[in-house]
Structure 1
Amino acid sequence: MTPEIELATAADASAVIALWHACGLTRPWNDPATDFALALGGAASTVLVARGDGGVTGSVMVGFDGHRGWVYYLAVASEARRSGLGRALMAAAERWLRECGAPKLQLMVRGDNTAALGFYEALGLARQDVVVLGRFLADAGGE
């Protein structure tokens, strides 16, 4: 049975953020509440959720920067894993991005997260020959 996946609302924030924490997706330098609010408030981003009997059982954040579609925070509750929900959430993310006109989907996975890498490779995603660089703008001192 294909799970019902829909757009998150502001009322889903606490449940989605709790799921992100439970799945180990948060980091001290990223405020998940801000990430959630920015995704819902953006014209080219959102959070998709799957609901089960106990509430939110899965989520994925998607955005289109005008050049590529991006996927973040794919999360599936422990009791819903190995049910096809992760695949269904990725399919929903891809549909949303196609509807936005995104020609390509990309996501970032930490190099030591072999389970996630295996999951995405099984879905047909391939490693890209790129290096991701970054800087925290809050620490840039306005220079």
Structure 2
Amino acid sequence: MSPLAAREATDADAELLLAWRNDPRTRQASRSSGVIDLADHLRWLRGVLASPDRVLLVVSEDAGPVGTVRFDREAPGEWEVSITLAPESRGRGLSRAVLAEGERWLSESHEVHVVLAAVHEDNAASAALFERSGYVESAPAEDGFRWLRKTRG
């Protein structure tokens, strides 16, 4: 496996990110499970890219993009993370490295004390990923999602 590198997403990533977002397995684990059309996605993407409180990263290996990590600032030093692997990258053991690369990028460019993750109760793989990455249960489940938290030194 080649080393992973994160970069900020751009408008040029719109169709790739939309394809990953509309993948059935991705939708199943999302808070919003409907199919998103291109116009709505472009509106969302431009809003994310323009926001100082959101970071959207594309994580790649030498062969190309393998996933995306988004961070939303909830409070000073507190971020919520969301991770999506490209459908063709699943099953390769990349999720932990993608998450770690996203966390590394964020901590080098922003103040980070706490990172939160909302994980669908039926998504055992995602829960295991965050737990292996140092996240612990932080609040009772609500609306079908568990909340995990990672505190950074």
Structure 1 length-normalised TM: 0.74
Moved over 4 A (4+): 29-34, 52-55, 130-133
Q: Which runs of 5+ in 2 are unaligned?
A: 144-153
- 3-state DSSP of counterpart to 1:59: strand
CA positional deviation for 1:36: 2.8
CA positional deviation for 1:28: 2.7
Contact residue 7 and residue 48 of structure 1 kept, 8 A: yes
Structure 2 length-normalised TM: 0.70
Structure 2 CA distance for aligned equivalents of residues 96 and 54 of structure 1: 20
Q: Which amino acid aligns with 1:28?
A: G
Q: What CA deviation, in whole Å up to 9, does each residue of 1:84-140 have, x standing for no partner?
A: 43222212332343231121000101111112111211212111134558xxxxxxx
RMSD: 2.7
Write the mapping of 1:46-85 to structure 2, written as runs, cut at 5 A. Answer: 46-51=55-60, 55-67=64-76, 68-72=78-82, 74-85=83-94
Write the mapping of 1:1-143 to structure 2, written as runs, cut at 5 A. Answer: 1-22=2-23, 23-25=25-27, 26=30, 27-28=33-34, 32-51=41-60, 55-67=64-76, 68-72=78-82, 74-98=83-107, 99-130=109-140, 132=142
- 3-state DSSP of counterpart to 1:101: coil
Instruction: Report how many residues are paired.
Output: 132
CA positional deviation for 1:46: 1.9
Structure having the higher strand fraction is: 2
Report the equivalent of 1:137: none
